[in-house]
Amino acid sequence: MLSNIGIGLIVLVLILSFLTIYTASLDLKMPGQSIKKGIYKLSLFQTTFTVLSFFTLIIGFINSDFSLSNVYENSHTTKPLFYKIAGTWGNHEGSLLLWVNILVIFSYLFLVFNHTHNKKFRLYTLIFQNILILGFSFFLLLNSNPFNSIYPIPLEGLGLNPILQDPALAIHPPLLYVGFVGCSIYFSAAMASLISDYRGKLFAQSIKTWVKISWCFQTLGITVGSIWAYYELGWGGFWFWDPVENASLLPWFAITALMHSLIVLEKRNTLYSWVVILCLSTFILSVTGTFLVRSGILNSVHTFASDPSRGIYILLFLSLMIFSSLIIFFTKYKKETYNFNLKSRETFILANNWFMVFFLLTVLIGTLYPIFLDVITSVKISVGPPFFNIVIVPLVVPFVFLMAIVPKFSWIKLQNKIFYKILFLILCGVIINLFISHFFGKYSFLSNLIFIVAIFLILQSFLDIKKLINKKKKPELSRIISHLGFGLLVFFIGINHQFSLEEDFNLKVGEIKKTKNYEINFEGIKIRESKNYKAIVGNFKLINEKNDLVQYLNPEIRIYSNPETLTYEAAIKTKITSDLYLTMSNVSRSDYYNIKFQNKPFMIWIWISALMIVIGGFTQLTLKKNED
């Protein structure tokens, strides 16, 4: 029953897509500046039907309707309701349905909210977006149908992968999807702008809000993913330069560059071609990431059951997207003349872009090179943190430095009196850095530089906030919050990296281990039964030898029943100043447990700073109205 409803709705969406493309191309030839009412209606119906199809699937998951093979494969009657719902997008087919939903919703919203812009531009955007919708709906229907039914109907489902049963992970996919798939709308808009010759400032205004929305969601999604990895995977870190993390970072670099160069396009009406290139590549990189992750070329927690036919389809679609955008871009390309003052703000914003492109290329090469090498020569190598740290970290210094000073420059030319202020703040940075290294331990020259520029950026942002308080209009607020967040992020990652303590040892129940500042007492284990798993819970007493503070930590080894899987839950005690992190795993054929103990200073501040960057973005979205 649900199967038929779902498939019916998707077919309707497909038909409406064809109709929209058809009527929009007819309307292109009509005179006048307003779009026909019928097109709005088509788009509204299309949105309603896709959203309904998604709710149909959610209902299937809530009711554990195992006549849908997707529900059978990814759910189980004993799952808590929250994870039943999260199971809807915790698999390939369901997440693709979410993908189509976002394509359609963004298409409708763009049509409605951009009514002041050129008709031809809006119609072409609608057409391109609907071509994307068509492609992905066909893929959904023919290859990855979430509404496939099975008969006879099984009595029980196979269950959701236990490591996905985590609150952070339940919201991580929808956030990232809004971020990544949301890019599709300015991909379409960029193509439309080239064809309809709707260039420059006005184009920048039409896509500005959408770029900010998807930037906010991407940043938030990546942060939540990282929080999940820290709490759930039990590796004791928050970023691993894993190929899948890298795949999510690639579009993020592009979109961050885009967000900054859009400012230049809007204010100075220049850099149009570059903005279009970034619009196109952001979505292309999102799809490339999806291809790498879903086709099984990269192996990770994100590779659902691997199926080469899926990969071929996405690759075909990716090729079409790249070639059509290249051809349209080259045919419609017009030479621009750049007239920049070397010391002006736009030059430096462009510098931000060069850094972003550099980071993007580094991560792209680091991710693709091992794949290429393996495919061509069958040599397996792994490019990990050392490569990225060596290449990226040194460039963070000038990058953060520019982040602090560029907003101080006026649009056309630099004022000289700012120099003294900058010098003074850098001096403060040097002094605070000396203070840290004197009292807490020495570190490398590069780390010194990173701390200095990070402190400089933080101080600069605080001064800016102080100035803003007296002003009535606050257009700069969001930028300051995001930049302050980034400064804090760099600073706390630096502190965390320099002063983390890590110990790895084996311990039996009743034994005591002494580390630098802590005495770890393994007091016992007990078994705990839960709804969908059984857990071996360790009881550890930690005594801080400096201040005799006693704390208890309880890491777990969980045995999930459906499907049978072992997961290791870290015990984490979070405080404002540091995190205590303890995991245990069983050592086969012995009474010993392998214990990993870490003391990570200012861990929670890394999340707070990352969230601050996001809050900056959201502030801009809400402030926008007041500004206008």
Partner 1 sequence: MKINISRIIIFCFVIFCLFVFWLGLKKNINYDTESLIGSRISNFQLNEINHNNQSISEKDLKNNEFTLINFFASWCAPCRTEHKYLLKLSDKKIKILGVNFKDKKSNANKFLKELGNPYDFVAKDSEGKASVLFGIYGIPESILIDNNLTVIKKIIGPIDQSQYNEILNLIR
Binding site for partner 1 (CB under 8 A): 158, 291, 295-297, 299, 303, 306, 308, 311-312, 315, 318-319, 322-323, 326-327, 330-331, 368, 371-372, 374-376, 561-564, 566, 586, 588
- The single residue listed with the structure tokens 């007091």 is 523
Helix (H, G, I), strand (E, B) or coil at 508: coil
Compare residues 277 and 459 and give the one whose CB is closer to partner 1: 277
CB of residue 336 vs partner 1: minimum separation in angstroms? 16
For partner 1, the closer CB: 327 or 427: 327
Q: Least distance from C-beta 378 to partner 1, angstroms? A: 8
If DSSP states are collapsed to H, E and C, what string results for 415-472?
CCCHHHHHHHHHHHHHHHHHHHHHHHCCCCHHHHHHHHHHHHHHHHHHHHHHHHHCCC
- The nearest distance, CB 292 to partner 1, in angstroms, is 8
- SS3 sequence of 296-339: CCCCCCCCCCCCHHHHHHHHHHHHHHHHHHHHHHHHHCCCCCCC
Alpha helices by DSSP H, 197-233: 201-228
With respect to partner 1, which residue has the nearer C-beta, 299 or 626?
Answer: 299
Kindly tell me which of 162 and 494 has the beta carbon lying closer to partner 1.
Answer: 162
Residue with tokens 């890394």: 606
For the CB of residue 154, give the shortest distance to partner 1 in the complex, in Å. Answer: 9
CA 412/CA 172 separation, integer angstroms: 41
d(Cα 458, Cα 420) in Å, to the nearest integer? 17
Q: In the complex with partner 1, which residue's Cβ is closer, 247 or 484?
A: 247
Which C-beta is closer to partner 1: that of 370 or that of 494?
370
Closer CB to partner 1, residue 339 or residue 590? 590
Non-local (6+) Cβ contacts of 291 within 8 A are 297, 311, 314, 315, 318
Interaxial angle between packed helices 92-113 and 167-196, expressed in degrees from 0 to 180 and rounded to the nearest 10: 50
Closest CA to 100 of 72, 121, 124, 129: 129
CA dist 555 and 553 (Å) reads: 6
Find out whether 176 and 214 touch, Cβ atoms under 8 Å.
no
Q: Specify the residue, 534 or 541, whose C-beta has the smaller distance to partner 1.
A: 534
Smallest distance from partner 1 to CB 318, Å: 7
* Peptide linkage before 162 cis (omega within 30 of 0): no
| Shortest Å, Cβ 538 to partner 1 | 18
Taking a C-beta distance cutoff of 8 angstroms, is the pair 75, 157 a contact?
Answer: yes
433, 438, 440, 442 alpha-carbon torsion, rounded to 10°? 80
Cβ 329 to partner 1, closest distance in Å?
A: 9
Nearest approach, Cβ of residue 372 and partner 1 (Å): 5
Identify which of 287, 308, 304 has the alpha carbon closest to the alpha carbon of residue 93. 304
Helices (H), 78-117: 81-86, 92-113
CB of 584 to partner 1, least distance (A): 15
Rounded to the nearest whole angstrom, what is the least distance from the CB of residue 605 to partner 1 in the complex? 38
* β-pairing verdict for 512-514 and 501-507: unpaired
Nearer to partner 1 (CB atom), residue 583 or residue 599: 583
* CA angle centred on 152, ends 149 and 156, rounded to 5°: 85
The minimum distance between CB 130 and partner 1, in angstroms, equals 24
Which of residues 266 and 307 has its CB atom nearest to partner 1 in the complex?
307
If the CB atoms of residues 309 and 410 are measured against partner 1, the closer one turns out to be 309
d(CA 156, CA 563): 12
Amino acid at 361: L
- Preceding amide of 173 cis, omega within 30: no
Give whichever of 327 and 395 is closer to partner 1, judged by the CB atom. 327
Considering beta carbons, is residue 58 or 373 the nearer one to partner 1?
373
Give dist(CA 302, CA 118) in Å, integer.
41
CB of 286 to partner 1, least distance (A): 15
Strands 501-507 and 593-601, by their bridges, are antiparallel
Cβ at position 382, least distance to partner 1 in Å:
13
